[in-house]
Chain A
Amino acid sequence: MIKINGISKVFKKCEALKNVTFDVNDGEIVGLLGENGAGKSTLMRIISTMLTPTSGDAQISGHDLLSEPEEVRKSIGILFGSEVGLYERLTARENLAYFASLNGMSSKDASKRISELADIFDFNDYIDRRVGTFSRGMKQKIAIARAIVHDPSAILLDEPDAGLDFKASKIIFDFIEMSKANNKSIIFSSHSIENIKNYSDRMVVIHKGQIIKVFDVHEYREKYSDREINDILFNLVSEGEENV
Chain B
Amino acid sequence: MFKTAMVVFFKEMKDLLRDKKTFIMGLLIPLTLLPVMLFIIDYSMNSSQRRADDEIRIAVSSKDNSFYRFCTAHDDIKVVDVDNTKAAMESGIISAYIKVSENIDDDIVKDKDYTQDLDIQFNTSSIGSMMSTRKIAYYRDLYFILAQSLKKHVSSAEELRNMISNADINGAVMKEYPYTDDDGAANIDMSSMYFNMLVPMMLILYCCVGSSSTASDLSAGEKERGTLEALLSTGADRTSIIVGKLLATTAMGAMSGLCTVLGLSVYLIVSSGTSSFSLTFFEFLALLIITLFTSMFFAAVNLTIGVYSKSSKEAQTYLMPVSVISLIPTYFTYTLDVGSINIEYLCIPIVNIVCVIKEIFAGSLNPLHIGIVVGWLLLYVAAAFSLTSYMFKKESVVFRN
Question: A interface vs B, CB < 8 Å?
Answer: 11-12, 45, 48-52, 70-71, 73-74, 76, 78, 80-81, 84-90, 94, 98-99, 101-104, 130, 146-147, 150
Contact = CB atoms under 8 A, between A and B. Distances in A.
A90 B229 contact: no
Given A73-B234, A73-B235, A51 B14 contact: no
Given A80-B229, A85-B229, A89-B18, A102 B399 contact: no
Contacts of B18: 89-90, 130
B236 A102 contact: yes
A172 B397 CA distance: 31
B230 A101 contact: no
B76 interface: no
A2 to B, nearest CB: 14
B4 A102 contact: yes
B401 interface: yes
B240 to A, nearest CB: 9
Interface in B216-249: 225-227, 229-237
B227 A85 contact: yes
Given A73-B234, A102-B235, A87 B15 contact: yes
Nearest to A87: B15
A45 B399 CA distance: 10
A45 B233 CA distance: 9
A73 B233 contact: yes
Given A102-B8, A102-B231, A147-B230, 10 more contacts: A45-B399, A48-B233, A52-B395, A70-B236, A78-B233, A81-B226, A85-B229, A85-B231, A94-B11, A98-B11
B226 A104 contact: no
> Which of B8, B18, B226, B230 is the most central at the interface, judged by chain A CB atoms within 10 Å of its CB?
B230
A35 to B, nearest CB: 18
Contact of B229 (A45, A52, A76): A45
A89 B19 contact: yes
Interface string B380-401: 0000000000000001101101
A7 B232 CA distance: 20
Contacts of B233: 48-50, 73, 76, 78
7 contacts: A45-B399, A50-B233, A51-B399, A78-B230, A85-B230, A90-B11, A90-B14
A89 B260 CA distance: 27
A90 B227 CA distance: 13
A146 B235 contact: no
Contacts of A84: 225-227, 229-230
A52 B18 CA distance: 36
Nearest to B6: A101
Contacts of B225: 84, 88
Nearest to B4: A102
Nearest to A84: B226
Contacts of B285: none
A25 B49 CA distance: 87
B234 A50 contact: no
Report the 7 A-B pairs with minimum CB-CB distance, sorted nearest first.
A85-B230, A84-B226, A102-B234, A74-B235, A48-B233, A102-B236, A103-B235
Contacts of B270: none
B399 A50 contact: yes
Contacts of A74: 234-235
Interface in B334-371: none
Contacts of B231: 85, 102
A51 B394 CA distance: 9
Contacts of A78: 229-230, 233
A51 B395 contact: yes
A184 B9 CA distance: 32
B7 interface: yes
Contacts of A86: 227
A74 B233 CA distance: 8
A102 B401 CA distance: 27
Contacts of A102: 4, 7-8, 231, 234-236
A103 B234 contact: yes
Contacts of B236: 70, 102-103
> Which of A51, A87, A90, A94 is the most central at the interface, judged by chain B CB atoms within 10 Å of its CB?
A87
A123 to B, nearest CB: 18
Nearest to A49: B233
